[in-house]
Structure 1
Amino acid sequence: MRRSLIGGCHKHFKPHHLRAVSCRFLSNNEQPRMPPCDFIPEKYESLPYERVMDIRNKNLSIALSTYYKKPILLHQGHMQWVFDHEGRRYLDLIGGIVTVSVGHCHPKVTEAAKKQMSRLWHTTNIYLHSPIHEYAEKLTSRLPGKLKVLYMTNSGSEANDLAMFMARLYTGNFDLISLRSGYHGASPYTLGVTSHSAYKPGVANGFGCHSTMCPDVFRGIWGGSHCRDSPVQTTRTCSCSPGSCDAKDRYIEQFKETLDTSAAKKLAGFIAEPIMGVGGAIQYPKGFLKEAYQLIRARGGICIADEVQTGFGRTGSHFWGFQTHDVTPDIVTMAKGIGNGFPMAAVVTTEEISNSFAQALHFNTFGGNPMAATVGSAVLDAIDEGDLQNNCKLVGTYLLLEMAKLRDKFENIGDVRGKGLMIGIEMVTDKETRQPLPTQEMNLIWEDCKDNGVLLGKGGLYNNTFRIKPPMCITKEDVDFAVAVFQNAVNKYLETKSR
């Protein structure tokens, strides 16, 4: 592990915070100590906090919600850390909603962007420029088989929108299948395959899209302690016999029923995340996605892997999430971590599918601009040089196992799941009923973690899953600190509840 690229900082809330202390060694009254960091943020000299809030309330859409009762005014970032306007340091365990892959302001990516900015900011792809061609070759070399043709876009929603369009053009069919609880974007097209009512505006969108039962082995009807590809399994009793998965077979039957009752005999395609992101890091039974792909292809459809959150080594064992399911999709969409926070996305497909898209003129003004291609290329280099995929495997597994110890200790931690640094912690009222922990109670834990220097995401259909998807450069010391903070927050919540 290269300490130059995977490391910490120097200042925190108090100067004596010099080392990490594992939750395993904390007494009830002992406060976790944040790992050291040798980065000192610049002094904040911009708009006062009150002025920022006033502008937000008056001039930005009310639809732009903020985290926390008192929103954080972020000023600067460095690798796995972010700093607010008062200089307080936070361990960022949600990475700009799974977007900061190699680290905030990673030096290699930042330097590449600066050099390209001084040379050529923008030109459309009607002209040749070397960055997009260098990047196309570098990115597609990491994909298997015939997945060699690249289309660059600007966001995950746009990439999925384009993939859906391609599927319909290529097959000549219209119906698309997705999984309930999945999220694929909020554009009018992608809302059809997004299965969260919170994102549905109540107007017509996404015609020809059908959802099928989410194969969730924790909250779903079937599943148990041998069903998923994770270092941590559910605590539910498993009905699987050796060499088979009963839950997988039952969810596949539901999948077949959806195809037989809700969709046309011929399909355009199927879109799924290898591990659900917004849905709460839900993992499917082993073998489910492989059989689902076979069923879709038997009906003339193609398979789309939404790698917006799982791609670029985050799962640890593989560079792409779909590889953990032993499948090869026909189209792969990617965004978020592809640019480490720079607005870019991509669709990769086969030459055959790509050729069908040439029926009409396709043009994207900003897709594949010199800045995006340069940043994307530097991100790939940073992943390799920092050995970040392996770091996801080692540190992610450690984090999962440490959180599993807390699950076994606390009645309100229902499930710990995930792979690599794609992790979900589902909170419940009790393990027997698996009733979701109410939002107000979730927020007590969430806010307390923030107050003690750890930023978590939230998600899941019932918004009761803490999402942990940090920059891929975090260390075991960071994990010890985060787990200790989380343990203290749960303890404090339980004490408050018992009063």
Structure 2
Amino acid sequence: MPLEKPIGPEAILEKKKKYIMPCLAHFYKEPRQFVKGEMQYLYDSEGRKYLDCFAGVSVINCGHCNPEINARVVEQVQSLQHVCNIYLTENFVNLAEKLAEVTPGDLQKTFFCSTGTEANEGALLLASIYTGRDEFIALRNGLHGRTKLTMSLTGIQMWRTDPHPCGGIHFAPNAYCYRCPLGKKFPECDYACADAVEDLIKTATSGRPAALIAEAIQGNAGIITPPRGYFKRVKEILESHDALLIIDEVQTGFARTGKMFAIENFDVVPDIMSMAKALGNGAPISAFTASAKIADTYTKPGASTLGGNPVSSMAGIGVLDYIKEHNLMENARERGQQLCDGLAELQKKHPIIGDIRGLGLMRGAEFVHADKSPAAEELDRVLEAMKDRGFIIGKNGVARNVMAFQPPLVITAADIDNVLNNLEDVLTELGY
């Protein structure tokens, strides 16, 4: 049976205005309706093809409609979709076993849910159960979810829409070297932003925080990438106060940074780790994981109706197998370096690119004016022009002035050259 003709972007916008809550915005002044995905490419309702450089915000790491993963998902859909995890099925324990093999250090036991927000909420709950404490530390400009607690721990004002946030939360400076919140320079600063966690514990908390939660790389903040020794210093400080380190890998996990998890780039093992997005390659699945010592304190009844259902779990198994079999970590490192080098060349010719940062295929280019103030409107014009040329690139940053490259990890060297060449043309045409 043939598919109905797509209704098109204008009709979608009309329905969106009538039926969808207005908190949900969209990219582009002239948005497109996407109707098909094929590995690193998207297609719109008019048949136009696009190179996807954002992967649904770090979700489609293994490519759109990946045939190897989808074949396994379809087979599962046709045999057993759901019974709830209070009954015995095999896929979710097999996926948990695989996660124990690829997560850092002694992280071993997992709880499955459906969204990154749920995973972070669960990680925070586990930290409170284990420590018997209820104060938390987060980093400025971090983003951890849309529930009351995770939104309260989010350090970006535009995402803190709850008019009555939770108490007992304290914010430490983030490691934003391009715009250091402490006005210092690295490496002369000697990780002053990490040392600020110690001061915060002593002056703003009871002295007994449960945990600090942080993204290994702050995605929505603008691909803020700490110096290599930052998390080691933070972990030492937390351990001296018997507090835990929770690492939010929702956006950075599953080969995105050239390692299976971004925190591995910093040689630190977190006490608890959350994950989502790319774990399902589009299927709704998330998880938080911890060492047996910590996880085994979670003994009161807990379940998630859809968490780790057979279909999503099969997608997760397929993702882990595909990453390994197709060397996606290596490709993320190589293509990420190619992208970074190319952006650095563009920066020499186009001073609107003020800073380039990130790891692997999670890269940000911050757009600034001559006085270093954010150039958000200029970035929007660049992204619109790139979209019209067939490239979907993200944006983030507190001022929405950071061009975000987070493509499917199956992207090729030719694809990177293509997007860089077109970006140079657009920057030149716009006089940036």
TM-score category, normalised to shorter length: over 0.9
Runs of 4+ in 1 over 3 A off after TM superposition: 221-224
Aligned to 1:192: 152
Q: Work out the percentage of aligned pairs sharing the same amino acid.
A: 32
Across the two proteins, how many residue pairs are aligned to each other? 430
- Contact 2:195–2:234 under 8 Å retained in 1: no
Aligned to 1:354: 295
CA distance in 2, matches of 1:215, 1:269: 18
Gaps of 5+ in 2: none
Aligned to 1:345: 286
How many Å apart are 1:265 and its aligned residue? 0.6
- Higher deviation after alignment, 91-100 or 51-60: 51-60
* Letter in structure 2 aligned against 1:434: K
Correspondences of 1:185-224 after superposition (within 5 Å)? 185-220=145-180, 221=182
How many Å apart are 1:458 and its aligned residue? 0.8
Correspondences of 1:306-317 after superposition (within 5 Å)? 306-316=248-258
**After superposition, what is the alpha-carbon deviation per residue over 1:393-413, rounded to whole angstroms, capped at 9, x for unaligned?**
111101001001111221111
Correspondences of 1:31-430 after superposition (within 5 Å)? 45-220=5-180, 221=182, 245-316=187-258, 318-358=259-299, 360-430=300-370
CA distance in 2, matches of 1:436, 1:54: 32
How many Å apart are 1:222 and its aligned residue? 5.1
Length-normalised TM-score, structure 2: 0.96
CA distance in 2, matches of 1:377, 1:272: 26
- Contact 2:228–2:265 under 8 Å retained in 1: no
SS in 2 for 1:414: strand
Backbone CA RMSD of aligned residues: 1.5
Correspondences of 1:17-28 after superposition (within 5 Å)? none
CA distance in 1, matches of 2:8, 2:261: 42
* Letter in structure 2 aligned against 1:489: V
CA distance in 2, matches of 1:379, 1:416: 29
Matched, 1:467 2:407: no
Length-normalised TM-score, structure 1: 0.84
- Contact 1:90–1:453 under 8 Å retained in 2: yes
CA distance in 2, matches of 1:491, 1:184: 37
How many Å apart are 1:223 and its aligned residue? 6.0
Cα 1:203–1:94 change in 2 (3 A) is: same
Q: In structure 2, which of residues 383, 406, 416 is the aligned counterpart of residue 479 of structure 1?
A: 416
How many Å apart are 1:57 and its aligned residue? 1.5
CA distance in 1, matches of 2:67, 2:270: 34
- Contact 1:174–1:267 under 8 Å retained in 2: yes
CA distance in 1, matches of 2:52, 2:206: 45
SS in 1 for 2:296: helix
**After superposition, what is the alpha-carbon deviation per residue over 1:133-186, rounded to whole angstroms, capped at 9, x for unaligned?**
211111211123321101001011110011111111110111111111111112
Cα 1:111–1:275 change in 2 (3 A) is: same
CA distance in 1, matches of 2:232, 2:362: 21
- Contact 1:163–1:333 under 8 Å retained in 2: yes
Gaps of 5+ in 1: 1-41, 228-244
